[in-house]
Every structure is written in structure tokens, then in C-alpha cells.
């Protein structure tokens, strides 16, 4: 009899422990490390908010690091995530090069990597599970095509057009490819020339300072092509301070489609913005869940994006989410 009681006790204890572990396993939170570029623009802030909100809603523990636009800060964050043994790493590389060593460490640690927004120049695609973001070459081409159509509509398609360009962060994917895409279009229109080009590092302040230097040269400027709206809006400040009207004396082209660009277009101070969606949070969380569940994912997912010229700004501004 005693033996039967002892056996029963052991059986019950085993069952309690088993259920306890199962319950614990079922409740174990997914832990994600995200190495963000910084908070350099309205786009980036909207991107961060989207990722944080989506992780909160999904009950995912997000360990978020703001790299302050410095590669060394992002590399340190990535190494910390490896040490912490997070389940998944999310990463938006501030520039394309200089990641080989830390990416190898992530791969050696067996932690799945999601590239968000930007990419690296590392060969092949085996080092990450999936990348989500925009086709920056296409965005540059959309900007160029809009300019060609706008000039034709205004009877200026035969004019000699001088363009100044505010580039994004030197060495970043969007800066390299938005320039490439825009120049693909200019190659077909020899009367459209980039006469001055310099980085404004995607920030409003530097956009304004560099535009001041462009204006000080005293050369004719017909168009500003800015790789993001923040630099376009900063540059418009400099244009106004020089006694000129942004949006009419100088055509203003931006990228991102942030709220500030729509406000400027409604005021007649900007002509077009090419959309680049920062709202990657839901997509990012879906990818994390699929990785943890062992499901397969596409290597690349491009955001679906439009072009918003001044004439539609008033009608759509209230529906914009960022
Ligand atoms: C583009 C993103 C760029 C935005 C800028 O996907 O990487 O970085 O265009 C931001 O506003 O700073």
C-alpha cells in the first residue's frame, strides 16, 4: 500500500512539474533587440514609434537602442543583444559598409536577423532572414519623372534647368540609390543638370546650412532635389531668408511624404514629395512571430508607395498617418 502511495506521489509531482514547465514555456515572452539609426528626421521618429507600438501590442519585449546616427553605437548595441541572447535582432544600418565582423558574430550566435529600412553592402542574402523597406532607386526615378512631367506641363521642357541636390547620409542606402534613380532620369534629359550636390545628412538643420551655401554661390537655381523632406523644409527656410519663394522661384522636391511636407505644399512652399513609408512596425512584428514559429519568410518585402504633388496635398493631408 505504502509503495502505491509513494508511486502516486511521484506521478503527481512529475505531472505538476511538467504542466508548470509547459505553462512557463507558453508564457515565455519573445525578446527582440532593435538597433535603430537615430532620431534624425520626422521619418525616423515615425518609424521608431511604429516599431515600438507594434511590439507593445504583440506583447513582445523590445530592447530598443537609438544609435544617434553613429555606426559604432549600433555595433555596440548589436554586440549587447548577442550577449543578452535575444530571440531576434532587428537592425537599420546607418550606412552600407563596415558591418561584416558584427554580422558574422550575430550569425555565429545563431540569432535570426531582420534588416529594417536600410541594407548593407555585404555579399549575398544568407546573413539575414528578411529585409523590409523601400526601393530607393525607384523613389529617385519617381522624383525625376515628376520633374520632367512638371516642366513639360509648364512649357519649360526645353529650358536649361539647374538643379541643386541635398543628399542623405553619406554612404547610406537611400542616399546612394535616390541619387542613382534621379540621375537615371536626368540621363535622358540633357537640359536638366545637377549643378551643386552635397550631403545634408537627412537633417533639417544641415539642409538649411547647405542650401545657404548653394544660394551664396549666386548661380541660377531652378530646382532643389532633397533626399528627404526634412532637408527640403530646412532648405526652404534658407530660400525664404534669401528673399526667394520656395515652391515657385525654386521648385522643391522631397522624399518621405511626412506631414511637414504636406503642410508646406498646402502653403504653396513645396511642389512634390515621393512617399517612403516608415510604418514598418506591423510588418516587423509579423516577421518576428514567423521566425519564432519556424515559418519561412520572403527575403525582400517592398513597401507600396505613391507620389504626392502639391495639387492633392489639401485633400490628403488629414488622412496621413505620419
Ligand atoms: C528611408 C530612410 C531615410 C528617410 C530619412 O527609408 O532610411 O532615413 O528618407 C531618414 O528621412 O532619415
Same domain, 123 and 153: no
Alpha helices in 154-256 (DSSP H): 173-186, 204-216, 229-241
What DSSP designation does 28 have?
P
Same domain, 156 and 210: yes
Residue 133: φ, ψ to 5°: 170, -150
Query: Ligand 1 in contact with 174 (CB < 6 A)?
Result: yes
Same domain, 103 and 170: no
Nearest to 250 by CA among 158, 148, 163, 153: 163
Query: Ligand 1 in contact with 287 (CB < 6 A)?
Result: no
* Residue 100 belongs to a domain: yes
CA–centroid distance, residue 43 to ligand 1 (Å) = 6
Ligand 1 probe mutation, 46, 48, 96, 174, most atoms within 8 A of CB: 174
Domain count, the chain: 2
pTM as predicted: 0.92
Compare 76 and 26 and report the one with higher pLDDT. 76
* Residue 24 belongs to a domain: no
Same domain, 93 and 202: no
* Residue 14 belongs to a domain: no
pLDDT tens per residue across span 280-309: 999 999 999 999 999 999 999 999 999 999
Same domain, 148 and 238: yes
* Residue 86 belongs to a domain: yes
CA–centroid distance, residue 119 to ligand 1 (Å) = 12
Same domain, 102 and 198: no
Q: How far apart are CA 20 and CA 42, in angstroms?
A: 46
Which domain-ending residue is among 276, 291, 313? 276
Same domain, 125 and 237: no
Residue 244: Cβ-neighbour burial (10 angstroms; 0-12, 13-18, 19+): middle
Question: Which domain does 215 fall in, by range?
Answer: 136-276
Same domain, 270 and 287: no
pLDDT at 8: 66
* Residue 162 belongs to a domain: yes
pLDDT at 10: 64
pLDDT at 28: 85
pLDDT tens per residue across span 66-109: 999 999 999 999 999 999 999 999 999 999 999 999 999 999 99
pLDDT tens per residue across span 30-44: 999 999 999 999 999
* Residue 9 belongs to a domain: no
Strands 88-91, 61-66: parallel, antiparallel or unpaired by DSSP?
unpaired
Same domain, 161 and 103: no
The set of cell numbers assigned to 217 is 554661390
- With 60 as the cut, is the pLDDT of residue 25 above it? no
The set of cell numbers assigned to 95 is 550606412
Mean pLDDT to the nearest integer, 211-229: 98
Same domain, 148 and 270: yes
Alpha helices in the chain (DSSP H): 2-27, 42-58, 71-84, 100-109, 136-153, 173-186, 204-216, 229-241, 259-266, 281-292, 310-316
* Residue 202 belongs to a domain: yes
Show Cβ contacts of residue 312 under 8 Å, excluding neighbours closer than 6 positions. Answer: none
Q: What is the CATH number of the domain that holds 58?
A: 3.40.50.2300
Q: Which pLDDT band, with edges at 50, 70 and 90, does 7 fall under?
A: low
* Residue 252 belongs to a domain: yes
Amino acid at each position: 500500500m505504502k509503495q502505491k502511495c509513494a508511486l502516486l506521489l511521484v506521478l503527481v509531482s512529475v505531472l505538476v512539474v511538467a504542466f508548470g514547465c509547459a505553462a512557463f514555456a507558453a508564457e515565455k515572452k519573445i525578446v527582440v533587440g532593435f538597433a535603430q539609426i537615430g532620431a534624425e528626421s520626422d521619418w525616423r521618429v515615425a518609424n521608431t514609434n511604429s516599431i515600438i507600438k507594434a511590439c507593445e501590442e504583440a506583447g513582445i519585449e523590445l530592447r530598443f537602442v537609438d544609435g544617434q546616427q553613429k555606426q559604432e553605437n549600433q555595433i555596440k548595441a548589436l554586440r549587447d543583444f548577442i550577449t543578452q541572447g535575444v530571440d531576434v535582432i532587428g537592425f537599420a544600418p546607418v550606412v552600407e559598409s563596415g558591418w561584416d565582423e558584427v554580422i558574422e558574430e550575430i550569425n555565429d550566435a545563431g540569432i535570426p536577423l531582420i534588416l529594417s529600412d536600410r541594407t548593407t553592402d555585404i555579399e549575398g542574402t544568407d546573413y539575414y532572414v528578411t529585409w523590409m523597406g523601400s526601393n530607393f532607386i525607384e523613389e529617385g526615378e519617381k522624383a525625376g519623372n515628376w520633374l520632367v512631367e512638371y516642366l513639360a506641363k509648364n512649357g519649360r521642357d526645353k529650358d536649361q534647368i539647374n538643379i541643386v541636390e541635398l543628399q542623405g547620409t553619406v554612404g547610406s542606402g537611400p542616399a546612394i540609390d535616390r541619387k542613382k534613380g534621379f540621375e537615371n532620369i536626368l540621363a535622358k534629359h540633357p537640359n536638366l543638370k545637377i549643378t551643386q550636390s552635397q550631403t545634408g545628412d537627412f537633417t533639417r538643420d544641415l539642409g538649411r546650412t547647405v542650401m545657404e551655401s548653394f544660394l551664396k554661390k549666386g548661380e541660377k537655381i531652378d530646382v532643389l532635389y532633397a533626399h528627404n523632406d526634412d532637408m527640403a523644409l530646412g532648405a526652404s527656410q534658407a530660400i525664404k531668408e534669401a528673399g526667394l519663394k520656395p515652391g515657385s522661384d525654386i521648385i522643391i522636391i522631397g522624399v518621405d511624404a511626412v506631414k511637414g511636407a504636406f503642410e508646406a505644399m498646402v502653403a504653396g512652399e513645396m511642389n512634390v514629395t515621393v512617399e517612403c513609408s516608415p510604418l514598418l512596425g506591423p510588418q516587423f512584428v509579423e516577421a518576428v512571430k514567423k521566425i519564432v514559429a519556424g515559418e519561412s519568410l520572403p527575403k525582400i518585402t517592398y513597401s507600396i508607395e505613391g507620389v504626392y504633388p502639391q495639387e492633392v496635398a489639401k485633400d490628403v493631408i488629414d488622412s496621413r498617418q505620419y
